[in-house]
């Protein structure tokens, strides 16, 4: 049995301003995001952690740094764990393109999970690449018990958890979380099981 902490990165200015950012925007976390990263590190300090993994983008790497320093771990970075690509919508303010966003979300909620924004990526494609990489990570060690932390993204967390927990991609909008939230799962014989979802008590002083 292996344990997996799936954590959303700290806040960026784009998050604060409700600007669409996917894999095509490599933003750093802001001052609040830095405090969230420290809070994540403090929340996980009591756990044994064997591997600390993030994507190739700055916002997950910067969020992982305090925990890496605390646990004296090297951060492993994989582009297959990058956020979904939102195509031509990236860099746009949500309020200015809300009808287009709602249309995309409606397609996905209706089960058309192969649908992608122009120049972007579908939820199904994002799941396939990220899920395959997570399986490679989980299966790459012969240790029966291992604790792994994944620092990833808002939409990617919705995508992964909705499939892993049997909701289906069409219901990914039901997966609740915020910047800095922690999800705790176990993986045994190819099955993911949730232990704790959307843990945010470590962030209360930052809200």
Residues 6+ apart with CB under 8 A from 188: 1, 2
Q: Do β-strands 182-188 and 75-77 pair in parallel, antiparallel, or remain unpaired? A: unpaired
From the list 11, 83, 90, 163, the catalytic residue is 83
The total number of residues written for the chain in this structure: 207
Q: Does residue 72 carry a catalytic annotation?
A: no
Whether residue 83 lies in the annotated active site: yes
Cα radius of gyration rounded to whole Å, the chain: 16
* pLDDT recorded at residue 207: 60
Q: Could you tell me the CA-to-CA distances from 47 to 3, 16, 38, 75 in Å, in that order?
A: 11, 30, 15, 17
Range of the domain at 172: 2-206
β partners of residue 188: 191
Q: What CATH number is attached to the domain comprising 13?
A: 3.40.50.1240
pLDDT one-digit tens code per residue, 61-114: 999 999 999 999 999 999 999 999 999 999 999 999 999 999 999 999 999 999
Q: What is the pLDDT of residue 206?
A: 73
Q: How many domains does the chain have?
A: 1
Q: Residue 44: is its pLDDT beyond 70?
A: yes
């Amino acid at each position: 049995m292996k344990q997996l902490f799936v954590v959303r990165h700290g806040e960026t200015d784009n998050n604060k301003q409700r600007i669409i950012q996917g894999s095509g925007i490599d933003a750093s976390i802001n001052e609040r995001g830095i405090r969230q990263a420290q809070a994540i590190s403090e929340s996980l300090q009591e756990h044994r952690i064997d591997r600390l993994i993030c994507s190739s983008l700055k916002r997950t790497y910067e969020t992982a740094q305090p925990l890496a320093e605390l646990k004296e771990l090297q951060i492993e970075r994989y582009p297959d764990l990058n956020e979904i690509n939102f195509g031509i919508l990236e860099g746009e303010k949500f309020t200015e393109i809300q009808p287009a966003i709602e249309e995309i979300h409606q397609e996905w909620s209706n089960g058309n999970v192969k649908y992608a924004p122009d120049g972007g990526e579908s939820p199904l494609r994002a799941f396939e690449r990220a899920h395959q990489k997570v399986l490679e990570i989980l299966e790459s060690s012969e240790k029966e018990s291992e604790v792994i932390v994944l620092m990833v993204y808002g939409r990617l967390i919705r995508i992964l958890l909705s499939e892993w927990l049997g909701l289906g991609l069409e219901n990914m909008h039901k997966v609740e979380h915020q910047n800095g939230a922690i999800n705790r799962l176990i993986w045994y014989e190819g099955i993911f099981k949730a232990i704790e979802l959307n843990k945010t008590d470590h962030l209360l002083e930052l809200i």
